[in-house]
């Protein structure tokens, strides 16, 4: 059961997630009719540009393990995607990674302007917290507070923002495997772990199950990042929807630049196997998450 | 009692607030020891640059009206100052208001760099939410969720960010008094109203008292903004700690540019009288807030 490398379950669930997520995001976007409508347009533009919706998928599937209502899970999925989108908008800014393309179309600061991009990111981050604190996310305010606190830790100076700061500050420096892994756990891992953990929080899961799910997310996140770096090195920009070869040009150390393509791929495969092992406790209820692990290693964009 | 124009009570309380706030902020700043420490340094630099601490003052005094513990009030005061500081860092960016000086010293993007400034703002906004969701802020998670939700509304696309977007989009346009007032209610008013309202939320105040305190904050916020615009027109950069005359240079419409100095000052005085009227219900318990109303109209920086 566990080693079935079929990715079709994951593909189907990703497609379903994307559809319901986009409906939910449309409902949650603030209304604005004055000149401030420009920032809402930019938020909408960035949110609706597509993307795999991996993090929302993880929220939905994590929540399913604990029989959480789809409504609750969709709220958290939307919050997570708002935060992910905010990070992409800010990371693409000229003063950061300076990327003109994202998800196959002009990034927000190219389509609008830099000021609007900064503000759209700020507003998306704020909206994410507003969604989590809303009664619709969970009837129990204790659960909502726990979500807000865990989310903030995943995003802050010891999480995503810290990882991005580290990445920028480390340009043109030689990093060892430990430092690169630590940086990626912060930069992309923390939000991926939160995405899975959110299901356990919503479902008031016991410590063992929560720990297992976080273990899966941790390994999946690292593997995902290695594959991302492999695609950045080998992929073409059109298929990726963003500029390929950026990391190398920017002098950024990745596990691929450190270990080489072959060993990096082996490392990713090992992480995927390990991720799947963590799911044992959930038996066949975790088949879609298993399928996602295979999808991550086989994806082409 | 209500028309005593003495500002000494407010000055003393501002000083006390600043001292305990700075201790609290130091406690709450995340620790970081890798290369990501740079973003924490930038957060610290911006938070500790001084400033009047008006918003924390309003949180502390609002909370006092409802006998809220100082510990709880200080947590919210710190969250509000983190959010205010984030907005200053992002507003000072070259792509926004492009200001090199803030509170008498180089703004964050000059002292560090633009990328660090964007990230420090992002991390401060995130930290603000983390603080509000923490158990130390209030034992009742319902109260914490209400704080997070009201805070997010004050900061988002229909609040502070919306106001900043409006302000940027309106450059070199003629705005009427209604539009300018609406913009300023969003841009600076919403967080000032939240600062007062937080005390009422923490203290589970009844609707009438909550409404009265919000009315005070609303009028005080508008008056504060008019005085800010008067100082921007008439003040000198050294005393202000930031560049004077910026609004006029940027073609920004303010009530001062629309109404002229005299009528704008009269308007501010009327708002201050109105703000004080809202405090009637609190009798002598609101004397420090009354003193602040007089301070706002008499301040020179």
Domain boundaries, chain A: 8-298
CB A191 within 8 A of CB A84: yes
Give the per-residue pLDDT at B235. 72
Q: Which of B119, B130, B169 sits opposite A38 (nearest CB)?
A: B169
Q: Which of A146, A231, A158, A165 is nearest to A189 (CA)?
A: A158
Give the per-residue pLDDT at A264. 96
Interchain CB contact of B260 with A (< 8 Å): no
User: How many whole angstroms separate alpha carbon B82 and alpha carbon B62?
Assistant: 18
Give the per-residue pLDDT at B253. 84
Q: Which of A207, A223, A191, A216 is nearest to A62 (CA)?
A: A216
Q: Which of A118, A126, A161 sits opposite B152 (nearest CB)?
A: A126
A102, β-bridge pairs: A105
- Nearest-neighbour CA in chain A from B55: distance (Å): 19
User: How many whole angstroms separate alpha carbon A57 and alpha carbon A64?
Assistant: 11
Give the per-residue pLDDT at A2. 41
Give the per-residue pLDDT at A239. 67
Structure tokens, A136: 């619709």
Cβ neighbours of residue A262 closer than 8 Å, sequence gap 6 or more? none
* Cα–Cα separations (whole angstroms), residue A114 to A117, A119, A169, B188: 5, 9, 22, 22
Give the per-residue pLDDT at B245. 73
- Nearest-neighbour CA in chain B from A6: distance (Å): 39
Give the per-residue pLDDT at B234. 82
Residues of chain B with pLDDT under 70: 1-4, 236-240, 242
Residue pairs between chains A and B whose CB atoms are closer than 8 Å: 186
User: How many whole angstroms separate alpha carbon A286 and alpha carbon A217?
Assistant: 13
- A191, with CB counted inside 10 A (0-12, 13-18, 19+), is buried
Q: Closest chain B residue to A92 measured between Cα atoms?
A: B115
Full pLDDT tens readout for chain A, 301 residues = 344 578 999 999 999 999 999 999 999 999 988 999 999 999 999 999 989 999 999 999 999 999 999 999 999 999 999 999 999 999 999 999 999 999 889 999 999 999 999 999 999 999 999 999 999 999 999 999 999 999 999 999 999 999 999 999 998 888 999 999 999 999 999 999 999 999 999 999 999 999 999 999 999 999 999 999 999 888 766 666 767 777 777 778 899 999 999 999 999 999 999 999 999 999 999 999 999 999 999 987 7
Give the per-residue pLDDT at A237. 64
CB A156 within 8 A of CB B121: no
CB B293 within 8 A of CB B268: no
B58-96 tens-digit pLDDT: 999 999 999 999 999 999 999 999 999 999 999 999 999
User: How many whole angstroms separate alpha carbon B74 and alpha carbon B55?
Assistant: 11
Residues of B in contact with A34 (CB under 8 A): 162, 166, 179, 182-183
Give the per-residue pLDDT at B5. 74
- Nearest-neighbour CA in chain B from A88: distance (Å): 12
Q: Where are the alpha helices (DSSP H) in A170-251?
A: 177-184, 190-202, 207-234, 237-240, 246-249
**Does B96 sit within 8 Å of A36, measured CB to CB?**
no
- Taking only residues 121 to 150 of chain B, the set having a beta carbon closer than 8 angstroms to any beta carbon of chain A reads 121-123, 125-127, 129-130, 132-134, 140-142, 144-145, 148-149
Length of chain A measured in residues: 301
Write down the ipTM of this complex: 0.96
User: How many whole angstroms separate alpha carbon A111 and alpha carbon A89?
Assistant: 11
**Does B34 sit within 8 Å of A123, measured CB to CB?**
no
Give the per-residue pLDDT at A247. 73
B111-145 tens-digit pLDDT: 999 999 999 999 999 999 999 999 999 999 999 99
**CATH of range A8-298; options 2.40.10.10, 1.10.10.10, 1.10.600.10, 3.40.50.970:** 1.10.600.10
* Cα–Cα separations (whole angstroms), residue A255 to A175, A220, A298: 9, 15, 18
- A71, with CB counted inside 10 A (0-12, 13-18, 19+), is exposed
Q: Closest chain B residue to A156 measured between Cα atoms?
A: B123
Interchain CB contact of A101 with B (< 8 Å): no
> 3-state class of B207 per DSSP?
helix
Dump strand ranges (E) for chain B.
101-102, 105-106
Apex A139 CA angle, A137 and A141, nearest 5: 90
Give the per-residue pLDDT at A1. 38
CB A227 within 8 A of CB A219: no
């Amino acid at each position: 059961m566990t080693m079935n490398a079929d990715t079709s379950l994951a593909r189907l669930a990703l497609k379903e997630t994307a559809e319901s997520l986009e409906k939910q995001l449309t409902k949650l976007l603030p209304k604005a009719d004055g000149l401030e409508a420009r920032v809402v347009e930019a938020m909408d533009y960035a949110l609706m540009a597509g993307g795999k919706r991996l993090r929302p998928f993880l929220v939905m599937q994590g929540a399913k393990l604990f029989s959480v209502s789809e409504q609750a899970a969709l709220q958290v999925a939307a919050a997570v995607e708002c935060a992910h989108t905010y990070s992409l908008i800010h990371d693409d800014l000229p003063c950061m990674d300076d990327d003109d393309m994202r998800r196959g179309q002009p990034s927000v600061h190219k389509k609008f302007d830099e000021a609007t991009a900064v503000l759209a990111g700020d507003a998306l981050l704020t909206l994410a917290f507003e969604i989590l604190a809303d009664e619709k996310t969970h009837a129990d305010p204790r659960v909502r507070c726990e979500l807000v606190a865990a989310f903030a830790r995943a995003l802050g100076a010891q999480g995503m923002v810290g990882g991005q700061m580290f990445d920028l500050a480390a340009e043109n420096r030689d990093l060892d495997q430990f430092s690169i892994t630590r940086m990626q756990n912060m930069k992309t891992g923390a939000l991926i772990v939160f995405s899975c953990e959110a299901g356990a929080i919503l479902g008031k899961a016991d410590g063992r199950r929560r720990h297992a799910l976080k273990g899966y997310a941790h390994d999946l996140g690292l593997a995902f990042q290695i594959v991302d770096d492999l695609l950045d090195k080998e992929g073409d920009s059109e298929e990726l929807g963003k500029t390929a070869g950026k990391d190398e040009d920017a002098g950024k150390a990745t596990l691929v630049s450190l270990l080489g393509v072959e060993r990096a791929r082996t490392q990713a495969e090992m992480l995927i196997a390990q991720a799947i092992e963590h799911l044992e406790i959930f038996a066949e209820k975790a088949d879609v998450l298993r399928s996602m692990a295979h999808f991550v290693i086989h994806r082409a964009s």
